[in-house]
């Protein structure tokens, strides 16, 4: 899988910074400017050293370092949640069969409970949309409170087709949100999950603007960006995300893209797969089967 | 919090069509409209100053120092709307520490610091140094202290040193022009590079931003020049005013052409987003776009300036007496400022009023109070004028206040 | 060095020194280890509390219920879908007890009729299906096979039934055109209903010389099968469940 590291371009920029051009009496003016650039870039050069060092042992150190921020009690208490977990063995993706979704909203409810998402109807890590394609060519899309309490019945006379579509963060392989974060507060992990660092995010909301899928929101209390994490805290313990666990019809399937025999592999073999807004080349990892062309 | 939830509930009631559930809350509001407006004024004022220094447009000399001080006053205020808008302004220094080089926004810290320290402050320093030295020698008390600190102890008044000041200033102005382009152009790129948003994603946005910045900057200097001359009961140099008006006209023509190009291109290609965008323009953005930005903010000033300023012809199409011309220029400049503010509004707010599902529209509720409120933004727009007043008090930009040292041949 | 230059150099050296010092002191330790982010953040996310224990955890103690469910219609459901988050109960079973849903609200969330649900999913109209009675009165929640085999197809194929009910084919039983084994009502995917294969099938009523079954009381439109509609089969143009639609 292609891994894109933000620091890859710093090599060429480093050489640019050392070129100080100009007459001798102006050297001292360009040098300070060059130093500013150098200082910025040598700091950023840290990460190019880190690129090749993603070994199995690395995550175990993760909770040891970082004197900056308060570590939650759970990890400080008994065990390191990442102990024994090797992210290099995984590349997570989700598959959704639109024909199986019954719009019950149990996934939305489970997600809000599992992840302490505020209950107001403006904050969703996952939600359900209902599409009603009418005979006159119009399509009506609704998502009452994200579908958390199901959907009301609908007038049937004019229906051509109607179905439910679950939506969530697509954990793109080429995430535009990670690209635009000015400080490096959102990132893609080695196992393919896009996470937010709530102690580092400055709340500029550029990532929310950059997400084509509307998957992000600003948490009203922490004032940082938030979104679906594929329930990462469950993944490292060998569980599946809460929404996948709850789905009564197995419309959501979760797994490793690289695993040869798994429900996800079968899904990819037996269905024609589509992703949302493929033309934007975000390389989403939520794979839809039976996705209607009206879904936007 | 409660009132915030309350207002979001109201927004939810007023949405039309379908918007993604997370899109009810509009994230970049009035403060993010003010920021590009302010940096645009900075860039525009500086470009005007550079017209005199680098391109030797002698007529606008009376506004040279005023432009620099105006640019500085607005630049000092520029980070404030951003800081007010952040969820965690106390962490904003992270942009300096760990900038993500892939992010246009990460450039902010460095471009801002570069422009403030290396371009604007240095330029002002080199231009005022000899004046500050002379003033500090004759003054007493606090003023003397301020001017002494300003000189940084560089008291050399020899012809050689003063000539060095002048050529250094010229060089800095020279590199200042692309720096000013960068200062405001990167803001345009912040929007233009968002592929998720069809209203923003465009190659033209950085260029349009730049030219509207120049337009707003020149208009601001024109207004300030007239107002300060009025307050000081000094006669306005009409050659200067006419030249400013002419440049304003040229910049406005280019700005208008670019915006029309974008508009025509969108209509012609009629991509998937055209339907919701048309709905947005005809409903939510009608007043701010069609009336304020285009008709009042661009077409009306173009007509006024085109007819009454000597932009095309040394005598202008219709020769109006000086008092009338001044009034018309003033009105045109005010209209332009309103129009450019509307332009920023239409870009920032417009890009969030329609859903990325392309199926619905939401509303933006402007609050009166609070950090995101009208009062705060009004204050942020008035603050630069207060700063400018202080700057003008200590670094008077008037041509008659400038110190002229006797040349060597005289002594 | 020229006076201006020397003064400025000192000033800039101080500023840049401050920036470099800030860089060294303030950048978090683990930043850059795994990428352009604070590596500790991964651990912080992984340490968040778990609310739903998952099926495997419930089965550890409640193996009998798990056995009861196996092979039934609710076999693929997670326990917590109906009983709510159970991680705290799995940690300390006596401290908290998951809820047992009562009434009809939870069941109708999935099984209340809604045309947007996929066809074949069992649904009832709550207003007419044993109104006011709790669902558990007739259906055991862990093995909710209906107490009697459904007579009509509309239980699972509600949208088709309702569409047909207002059409010219309203009085035709589903079995007129689809032959169904009893097995299909008990185990839908094991045995599928048939669908008509050729034009002659529709001709059984619509051919000029056909004899429609007695329940059909209206005038049956007749078409010359040899010329009408070229080589297409009837349902490529006419929706059999609402044939008036053109």
Note whether C4 contacts B129, CB cutoff 8 Å. yes
Residue C118 belongs to some domain of the structure: yes
Q: Quote the tokens at residue B147.
A: 């001017």
Number of compact structural domains in chain C: 3
The DSSP result for A31-85, as a single string, is HHHHHHHHHHHHHHTHHHHHTT---TTHHHHHTTS-TTSPPPHHHHHS--TTTT-
**Which member of A35, A159, A233 has the closest CB to residue C48?**
A233
Instruction: Supply the pLDDT for residue C106.
Output: 93
Instruction: Please state the pTM of the whole predicted model.
Output: 0.86
In this predicted structure, the answer to whether residue A72 has a pLDDT above a threshold of 80 is no
**Boundaries of every domain in chain B:** 27-193+367-397
Q: How high is the mean pLDDT in each 10-residue block of chain B (411 residues)? A: 87 95 95 96 93 87 94 96 95 93 91 92 93 91 92 88 91 92 92 96 93 96 95 92 94 95 95 96 96 96 92 81 93 97 97 97 92 94 97 91 71 42
Q: Are C201 and C177 in contact (CB under 8 A)?
A: yes
Give the bridge partners for A130, in sequence order: A142, A164
Note whether A63 contacts C114, CB cutoff 8 Å. no
Instruction: Supply the pLDDT for residue C246.
Output: 60
Chains with ≥3 CB–CB distances under 8 Å to A = B, C
Note whether A65 contacts C163, CB cutoff 8 Å. no
- CA distance linking residue A282 with residue A280, whole number of Å: 6
- CA distance linking residue A38 with residue C11, whole number of Å: 18
In this predicted structure, the answer to whether residue A8 has a pLDDT above a threshold of 90 is no
- CA distance linking residue B91 with residue A102, whole number of Å: 44
Note whether A132 contacts C116, CB cutoff 8 Å. yes
- CA distance linking residue B222 with residue A162, whole number of Å: 60
Dihedral sign, Cα of residue A245, residue A247, residue A249, residue A255: negative
Mean pLDDT, rounded, for A39-47 = 43
Residue C161 belongs to some domain of the structure: yes
Chain-centroid distance, C-alpha B73: 11
In this predicted structure, the answer to whether residue A64 has a pLDDT above a threshold of 50 is no
Residue C113 belongs to some domain of the structure: yes
Instruction: Supply the pLDDT for residue A75.
Output: 40
Instruction: Supply the pLDDT for residue A156.
Output: 76
- CA distance linking residue B207 with residue B181, whole number of Å: 9
Chain A, chain B: beta-carbon pairs less than 8 Å apart: 162
Q: Are B106 and A183 in contact (CB under 8 A)?
A: yes
Do the bridges between strand A217-218 and strand A225-226 make them parallel or antiparallel, or are there none, so unpaired? antiparallel
Q: Are C40 and A66 in contact (CB under 8 A)?
A: yes
Closest chain C CA to residue A97: C118
Last residue of a domain, one of C141, C165, C189: C165
Residue C81 belongs to some domain of the structure: yes
Closest chain A CA to residue C245: A135
3-state secondary structure A223-271: CCEECCCCCHHHHCCCCCCHHHHHCCCCCEEEEECCCCCCHHHHHHHHC
Which range marks the domain in which residue C204 is found? Answer: 179-246
Reported as a single tens digit per residue, the pLDDT across C1-37 is 688 888 899 999 999 999 899 988 999 989 999 999 9
3-state secondary structure chain B: CHHHHHHHHHHHHCCEEECCHHHCCCCCCHHHHHHHHHHHHHHHHHHHHHHHHCCCCHHHHHHHHHHHHHHHHHHHHCHHHHHHHCCCHHHCCHHHHCCCCCCHHHHHHHHHHHHHHHHHHHHHHHHHHHHHHHHHHHCCHHHHHHHHHHHCCCCCCCHHHHHHHHHHHHHHHHHHHHHHHHHHHHHHHHHHCCCCCCCCCCCCHHHHHHHHHHHHHHHHHHHHHHHHHHHCCCCCCHHHHHHHHHHHHHHHHHHHHHHHHHHHHHHHHCCCCHHHHHHHHHCCCHHHHHHHHHHHHHHHHHHHHHHHCCCCCCCCCCCCCHHHHHHHHHHHHHHHHHHHHHHHHHHHCHHHHECCCCEEECCCCCCCCCCCCHHHHHHHHHHHHHHHHHHHHHCCCCHHHCCCCCCCCCC
Closest chain A CA to residue C35: A47
Of C229, C206, C230, C228, residue with least CA distance to C216: C206
Instruction: Supply the pLDDT for residue B89.
Output: 95
Note whether A36 contacts C109, CB cutoff 8 Å. no
Name the residue with tokens 């150190």.
A61
Residue C108 belongs to some domain of the structure: yes
Chain B, chain C: beta-carbon pairs less than 8 Å apart: 40
- Using DSSP, state whether A115 is helix, strand or coil: coil
Reported as a single tens digit per residue, the pLDDT across A140-162 is 999 999 999 999 988 777 889 99
| Alpha-carbon Rg for chain B in angstroms | 23
Torsion of CA C222, C227, C233, C237, to 10 degrees: -70
Q: Are C142 and C69 in contact (CB under 8 A)?
A: yes
The answer on C246 and C212 residing in a single domain is: yes
Chains with ≥3 CB–CB distances under 8 Å to C = A, B
| Alpha-carbon Rg for chain C in angstroms | 34
Distances (CA, A) of A257 to A91, A166, A285: 6, 20, 9
pLDDT band at C186 (very low <50, low <70, confident <90, very high): confident
Of A99, A95, A97, A117, residue with least CA distance to A108: A117
Distances (CA, A) of C44 to A67, A85, B396, C193: 13, 14, 56, 54
The answer on C109 and C85 residing in a single domain is: no
Residue C246 belongs to some domain of the structure: yes
- CA distance linking residue A35 with residue C87, whole number of Å: 54
Q: Are C22 and B93 in contact (CB under 8 A)?
A: yes
pLDDT band at A37 (very low <50, low <70, confident <90, very high): low
Closest chain B CA to residue C10: B152
- CA distance linking residue C107 with residue B400, whole number of Å: 86
Q: Is B117 at the interface with chain C, CB within 8 A?
A: yes
In this predicted structure, the answer to whether residue C121 has a pLDDT above a threshold of 50 is yes
pLDDT band at A270 (very low <50, low <70, confident <90, very high): very high
| Angstroms from B352 CA to nearest CA on chain A | 8
């Amino acid at each position: 899988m292609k891994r894109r590291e933000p620091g890859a371009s710093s090599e060429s920029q480093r050489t640019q910074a050392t070129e100080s051009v100009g007459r001798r009496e102006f050297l001292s003016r360009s040098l300070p400017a060059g130093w500013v650039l150098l200082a910025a870039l040598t700091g950023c050069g840290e990460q190019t050293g880190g690129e090749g060092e993603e070994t199995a042992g690395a995550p175990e150190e993760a909770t040891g370092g970082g004197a900056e921020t308060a570590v939650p009690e759970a990890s400080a208490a008994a065990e390191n949640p990442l102990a024994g977990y090797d992210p290099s063995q995984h590349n997570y993706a989700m598959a959704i069969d639109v024909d199986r979704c019954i719009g019950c909203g149990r996934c939305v409810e489970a997600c809000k409970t599992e992840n302490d998402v505020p209950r107001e109807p403006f904050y969703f890590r996952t939600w359900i949309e209902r599409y009603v394609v009418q005979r006159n060519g119009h399509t009506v899309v609704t998502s009452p409170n994200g579908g958390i309490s199901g959907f009301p019945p609908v007038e049937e006379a004019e229906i051509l087709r109607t179905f439910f579509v679950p939506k969530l963060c697509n954990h793109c392989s080429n995430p535009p949100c990670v690209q635009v974060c000015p400080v490096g507060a959102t990132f893609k992990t080695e196992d393919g999950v896009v996470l937010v660092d709530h102690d580092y995010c400055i709340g500029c909301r550029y990532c929310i603007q950059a997400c084509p899928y509307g998957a992000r929101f600003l948490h009203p209390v922490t004032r940082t960006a938030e979104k679906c994490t594929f329930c990462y805290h469950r993944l490292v313990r060998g569980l599946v995300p809460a929404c996948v666990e709850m789905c009564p019809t197995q419309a959501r399937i979760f797994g490793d893209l690289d695993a040869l025999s798994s429900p996800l592999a079968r899904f990819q073999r037996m269905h024609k797969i589509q992703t949302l807004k493929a033309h934007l080349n975000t390389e989403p990892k939520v794979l839809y089967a039976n996705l209607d062309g009206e879904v936007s | 919090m409660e009132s915030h939830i309350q207002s979001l509930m109201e927004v939810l009631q007023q949405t039309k069509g379908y918007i993604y559930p997370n899109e009810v809350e509009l994230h970049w509001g009035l403060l993010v409209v003010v920021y590009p407006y302010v940096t645009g004024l900075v860039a525009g004022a500086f470009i005007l100053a550079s017209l005199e220094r680098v391109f030797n447009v002698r007529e606008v000399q009376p506004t040279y120092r005023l432009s620099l001080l105006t640019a500085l006053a607005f630049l000092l205020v520029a980070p404030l709307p951003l800081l007010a808008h952040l969820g965690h302004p106390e962490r904003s220094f992270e942009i300096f520490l760990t900038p993500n080089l892939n992010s246009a926004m990460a450039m902010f810290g460095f471009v801002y610091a570069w422009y403030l320290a290396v371009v604007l402050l240095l330029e002002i320093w080199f231009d005022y140094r000899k004046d500050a030295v002379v003033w500090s020698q004759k003054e007493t008390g606090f003023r003397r202290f301020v001017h002494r600190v300003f000189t940084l102890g560089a008291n050399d008044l020899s012809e050689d040193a003063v000539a060095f000041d002048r050529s250094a200033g010229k060089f800095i102005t020279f590199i200042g022009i692309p720096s000013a382009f960068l200062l405001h152009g990167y803001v345009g790129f912040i929007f233009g590079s968002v592929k998720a948003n069809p209203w923003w994603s465009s190659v033209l946005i950085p260029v349009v931003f730049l030219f509207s910045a120049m337009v707003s900057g020149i208009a601001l200097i024109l207004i300030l020049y007239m107002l300060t001359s009025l307050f000081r009961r000094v006669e306005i140099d009409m050659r200067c005013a006419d030249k400013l008006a002419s440049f304003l006209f040229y910049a406005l023509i280019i700005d208008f052409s670019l915006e029309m190009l974008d508009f025509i291109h969108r209509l012609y290609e009629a991509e998937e987003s055209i339907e919701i965008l048309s709905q947005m323009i005809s409903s939510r953005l009608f007043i701010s776009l069609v009336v304020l930005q285009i008709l009042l903010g661009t077409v009306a000033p173009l007509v006024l300036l085109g007819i009454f300023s000597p932009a095309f012809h040394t005598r202008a199409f219709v020769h109006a007496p000086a008092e009338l011309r001044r009034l018309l220029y003033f009105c045109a400049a005010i209209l332009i400022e309103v129009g450019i503010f509307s332009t920023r509004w239409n870009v920032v707010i417009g890009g969030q009023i329609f859903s990325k599902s392309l199926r619905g529209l939401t509303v933006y509720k402007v609050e009166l109070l609070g950090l995101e409120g009208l009062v705060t933004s009004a204050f942020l727009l008035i603050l630069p004028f207060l700063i400018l007043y202080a700057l003008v008090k200590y670094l008077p930009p008037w041509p008659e206040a400038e110190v002229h040292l006797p040349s060597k041949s005289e002594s | 060095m020229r006076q201006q230059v020397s003064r400025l150099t000192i000033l800039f050296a101080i500023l840049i020194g401050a920036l470099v010092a800030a860089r060294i002191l303030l950048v978090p330790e683990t930043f850059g280890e795994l990428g352009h982010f604070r590596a500790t953040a991964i651990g912080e996310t992984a340490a968040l509390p778990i609310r739903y224990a998952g099926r495997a955890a419930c089965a550890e103690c409640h193996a009998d219920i798990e056995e009861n469910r196996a092979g039934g219609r609710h076999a693929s459901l997670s326990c917590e879908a109906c009983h709510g988050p159970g991680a705290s109960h799995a940690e300390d079973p006596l401290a908290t007890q998951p809820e047992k849903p009562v009434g009809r609200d939870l069941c109708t969330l999935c099984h209340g009729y809604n045309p947007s649900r996929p066809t074949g999913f069992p649904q009832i109209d709550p207003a007419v299906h044993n109104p006011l009675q709790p669902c558990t009165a007739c259906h055991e929640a862990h093995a909710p096979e209906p107490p009697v085999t459904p007579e009509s197809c509309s239980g699972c194929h509600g949208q088709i039934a309702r569409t047909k009910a207002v059409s010219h084919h309203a009085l035709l039983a589903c079995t007129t055109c689809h032959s169904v084994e009893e097995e299909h009502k008990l185990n839908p995917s094991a045995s599928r209903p048939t669908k008509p294969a050729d034009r002659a099938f529709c001709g059984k009523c619509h051919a000029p010389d056909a004899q429609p079954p007695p329940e059909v009381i209206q005038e049956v439109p007749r078409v010359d099968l040899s010329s009408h509609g070229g080589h297409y089969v009837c349902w490529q143009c006419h929706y059999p469940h609402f044939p008036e639609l053109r």
